[in-house]
Structure 1
Amino acid sequence: MNWIWISGVAFLLSFLAAGVLIFFGKELEDLGITGNIYYIILIPLGFSSAAFLAGAMKSYASFTSNESVSYGKLQLTGPIVIFALVVGGGFIMPNFNRKEQFDVKMRIVSNDRPMTTLNEGTVTLYIGKEPKTVNIHDGEVAFYNIPEKYHNRKVRIVPAINSYQLADSNEVLISKNEDYVDIHVTRTKESLSTLVRGSVLDQKNMAVVHALLDFSSGLATCYTDPNGNFSLTVPLPPGEKAQLKVVTDGITRFNEVVTISSTIPIDLRIDKTP
């Protein structure tokens, strides 16, 4: 009974591992470890078969030596044979019908900023019946187990990156001989401009009316309203810096560099002393 329990536990472990492979196959494939999980399953399954035959069924293996055979005679039965068939066969047989595959790594490239720290967004690769979508990590994505027939062929890709779009065609050439495929992206038209808001007050916290705000020497200009507030679209992406000049009564009251943002208002307090 002890051997039956031992073989049962080993079989249960392999059954659970098989369940992980079945239900989380797509996630494991994205990580490139599907094959590793499969081979791990073979070990407890082989021990389960061997333990059941050796302990419960009393199978055995023997070695005999005599004068007619110089190195003796090895007779294998039961557990060792079954273990070899399960584990060895599990390694060998899947390779009979396995088609050649290769991995493809893609690198996000942009002219306006380095993408090596990009850890948001996805890239979808359209091959076969089901597209593969992978999260971007450190500006790269990796697609595993691409069928050999796609070697040196163009495939369609669709990146989903906030404020960026493809700079070139949505088709790229993939090859098993290339370390990386570069995906060139550029900022979307919408992301190249920022809606800036703010207010201008004097030293007495009174609204400064009809003050001229000039971003980067004429890049974008506007005037404050009767409440001292202003709102305008600056043709710069968020995070960029620009020289801001505030003029009232023909006198420059403020002239400093500010950071362009659509979420953080530019609230200024100026000295209106003549």
Structure 2
Amino acid sequence: MKHIGNGRPTPRRRMNWIWISGGAFLLSLLAAGILIFFGKQLADLGITGNIYYIILIPLGFSSAAFLAGAMKSYASFTSNENITYGKLQLTGPIVIFALVVGGGFIMPNYNKKEQFDLKMRIVADNQPLQALNEGTVTLYIGKEPKTVNIHDGEVAFYNIPEQYHNRKVRIVPSIRNYQLADSNEVLISKNEDYVDIHVRRTQESMSTLVRGSVLDQKNMAVGNAFLDFSSGLATCYTDPNGNFSLTVPLPSGEKTQLKIVTDGITRFDEVVTISSTIPIDLRIDKTP
């Protein structure tokens, strides 16, 4: 391809430059647009929003290159006795590059609203449940509710709009064996380290159906043995096969004193763990 005598590219070569740079500009613009309009969905997929700023560089270069082929551009520097540091004049691509990249950094934060993070703590009987690692808390705020898993008795909600500072919002905890002790509305504030969510055990969780069996040292069933949980809290007798079943007004996982009496003699007096899933199978000494 021949060049014109002044060193400038021929019209055909300029058109090829325009098409190539124009295509690169459109691709970069499309990528930037996807990151802007689908930022939340991409963030959910683990694609960070910082990629947007990386795309700004090729977008700026391609737009500058495109306009360089379609517009006359030049840069000049002049210096004389009247201008101490000289005078630099830029037009065309370099200006477009600066506008695209600089504007791309400024615009996303131009209308950015103030936000704050909100931490909530699960509290029962005025004591934080720091060992709680199951369940969720749903915060009803804005158009879509936010649901977060409980970890170490706490939940954290990020990027709460400033407009909800010092306002009441609705919460719904979902915790096995617990329910809200107060109203489902709490006052949130950006100035508080924690907002406490007060819960109490459900009535159903305060009692446990306990099953088990009592055997003697010869693995023979002990019938009509008297079982006494916590000195009269719950009592029952074993059936002829040595089995028993009763409801103890204690939550599953609690420890309690159990006494077993046969023929008027205490055969067992120890602490056991109440469980709705693990039977209490005991062996006693029936030696007179």
Specify if TM > 0.5: yes
The alpha-carbon distance between structure 1 residues 87 and 183, as it changes in their structure 2 partners (threshold 3 A), is farther
Query: For structure 1, which runs of at least 5 residues remain unmatched after alignment?
Result: none
Q: 1:23 aligns with which of 30, 38, 41?
A: 41
Cross-structure match for 1:49: 59
Q: Percent identity?
A: 69
Deviation, 1:74, is 3.5
The 5 A counterparts of 1:246-261 are 246-261=260-275
How many residues end up aligned between the 2 structures?
266
SS of the residue corresponding to residue 85 of structure 2 reads coil
CA distance in 2, matches of 1:44, 1:54: 16
Mapped contact 2:56–2:104 kept (Cα < 8 A):
no
CA distance in 1, matches of 2:257, 2:283: 16
Cross-structure match for 1:272: 286
Q: Per-residue CA shift, 1:50-89, capped at 9, x if unaligned? A: 3425667668885625124333333445555444333432
Deviation, 1:15, is 7.4
The alpha-carbon distance between structure 1 residues 18 and 148, as it changes in their structure 2 partners (threshold 3 A), is closer
CA distance in 2, matches of 1:80, 1:179: 48
Cross-structure match for 1:239: 253
Q: Per-residue CA shift, 1:18-77, capped at 9, x if unaligned? A: 69734245x48xxxx99xx43x13322211123425667668885625124333333445
CA distance in 2, matches of 1:149, 1:42: 28
Cross-structure match for 1:152: 166
The 5 A counterparts of 1:162-173 are 162-173=176-187
CA distance in 2, matches of 1:202, 1:79: 96
CA distance in 2, matches of 1:80, 1:70: 24
Please state if 1:117 is matched with 2:139. Answer: no
SS of the residue corresponding to residue 196 of structure 2 reads strand
SS of the residue corresponding to residue 254 of structure 1 reads strand
Please state if 1:207 is matched with 2:225. Answer: no
The alpha-carbon distance between structure 1 residues 222 and 86, as it changes in their structure 2 partners (threshold 3 A), is farther
CA distance in 2, matches of 1:16, 1:149: 28
Deviation, 1:230, is 0.6
Cross-structure match for 1:183: 197
Moved more, 171-180 or 10-19: 10-19
Q: Per-residue CA shift, 1:245-274, capped at 9, x if unaligned? A: 110011001111111111111101111111
TM-score of the pair, normalised by structure 1: 0.82
Q: Letter of the aligned partner of 1:120 in structure 2?
A: E
Mapped contact 1:121–1:135 kept (Cα < 8 A):
yes
CA distance in 2, matches of 1:69, 1:141: 63
CA distance in 1, matches of 2:126, 2:206: 11
SS of the residue corresponding to residue 84 of structure 2 reads coil
Please state if 1:64 is matched with 2:77. Answer: yes
The alpha-carbon distance between structure 1 residues 99 and 65, as it changes in their structure 2 partners (threshold 3 A), is same
SS of the residue corresponding to residue 217 of structure 1 reads coil
Q: Letter of the aligned partner of 2:149 in structure 1?
A: N
